[in-house]
Chains A and B, each alone.
Chain A
Amino acid sequence: MADTAKPKGGGTAKSSGGRRQNRKNDSPDLADESPKDLLDHYRRMLLVRRFEERTGQAYTQARIGGYCHLNLGEEATVIGLTSVLDERDYLFTNYREHGYAIAKGMSPRGVMAELYGRTTGVSRGWGGSMHMFDTETRLLGGYGIVGGQLPLATGAALAVTYRGGDEVVMCQMGDGTTNIGAWHESLNIASLWNLPIVYVVVNNFTGMGTTVEMASAEPDLYKRGSAFRIEGHRVDGRDVLAVRDAASGLVERARSEQRPFLLEAYSYRMKGHSVVDPAKYRTKEQAEEARDKANDPVAIFEERLLNAGVLTEDTKKEISDAVREEVADAADFAENSPHPDVSTLFDYTYATPVANESKRMPSEPVFAE
């Protein structure tokens, strides 16, 4: 086990809500990086940022229904993690997954259309914000039940092993998930059966309004694989390159060593738990930290790229304009896509058609005249 990004104060249980100081010192040197890749990371992070801002806006305008959880503040984690997955690798996530959907390869159009509940949505309008899914890009679901994706992802890794494949499964979750039974049962099974899976805990220090310290007797979450002999690492989730490197190492080791790993990436949730949550439970300090530019992964990376001369004001504007256009296009596409027809209501109850399946509408009697 190694703490690859040990926060100041050692991340003790009593540290102020697990807050970490900004640290850029461990991040890979930009001089060793391909400028093209750096700009691509930046563009993708910005795309998630703008997409989520637009999503929040559309939600407050009642264009989007249900619950709506945004990746704002987690862009570096989203892009860092997904950048190391091959097309053939599988990703399972929780309900805060719009960014992951786009980053794994779904089109912003399809993701926004799903949010709008249209037929062109990635889940044909059946899933909504929490349930993005795409067989082709192998994001096998956002899941709304905390911990629900863990056994499923573990089973996907079992299927890979069963068939002798070399795919890796990545299973993303929030910090609160580490206390649910499915966590313990899944990690135990994955370790016993040597499954190629990387569990990633995105620690934003708060499960809804409950802090990690309130909920977890061992708040150093990366250590919590030790009961299952699963090696755990922690990384600064505000730093896209640090996340990329940490994840890349573990994904490749899961592939070559055929065993599970655990990665904790910490970053700040810039807004409330969901769009409608004003986060009044945050102390003044916590609210300031969440808003602090020094904790904003997009601002951090942008500043680094500008300082290193990788990004110029001109390219910055170019990228920003292109991203805004892509997001606007996604929203237009969603807005102009058809709503599902009521005649399709019974299309997806069963994959194998079955005798006597009920197709009764609410007002109809069980036996028609």
Chain B
Amino acid sequence: MSDLSEIWVYLARAPLAALTATLLAWLGALRLQRALGRHPLANPVLLAVALLAGGLLLSGIDYRAYFEGAQFVHFLLGPATVALAVPLYRQWHQVRRSALVAAVSIVSGGAFAVAAGTGLALGLGAAPEVTASLAPRSVTTPVAMGIAERIGGLPSLTAAVVICSGVVGAALGPAVLDLARVRDWRARGLAMGTAAHGVGTARALSVNATAGAFSGLAMGLNALATALLLPLLWRLLAGG
């Protein structure tokens, strides 16, 4: 008995178990996605997060203890973001030709995301700090958290809704684009990256190289535009 509990204490604490569990959950999620016939809701990020979150809640393991191990995977997010320059450079002649259109679409789409989110939240009578936490949800997590802090939101709530928005966009975005009859791969990529940041870009890259390149561009530019403009507009509207 004491042996078992010793092993449990080791597994719950050492980075090895959390890292292995993360990779196993991802492989399991990919299998599940195939088994479900690649249904749009069977998004591997959603499935893997659900598996691991369920595991943590059932076993009572603290998220911080889990992250100690999983941070080795999390760390690769930095170099992977830098690596988005590679698909962008492969499509460079296409990107350069439509740079102006891309920039206008991304900034307008980013503004629409903020306006739609704020309007819906206010319409439903959400508390001001919840509304402020939801406003920057379509940009990449670290930027969104920084913006939330500046406009009176709760950065931790923002982190959660950013991830959820990314997963929703990645899972259902392609179906919505089909419904809206958006067939241009460049436009599809711009839409995914603007509304669903890196998680949407991961989905776009797995479908089409052109869409992936434009999605990575949209993620980066929308992060910059929203970070510069949202706090400014927020102060104007809240102050006036």
Instruction: Please say whether chains A and B are actual partners in one complex.
Output: no
Q: Taking beta carbons and an 8 Å cutoff, which residues of A are in contact with B?
A: none
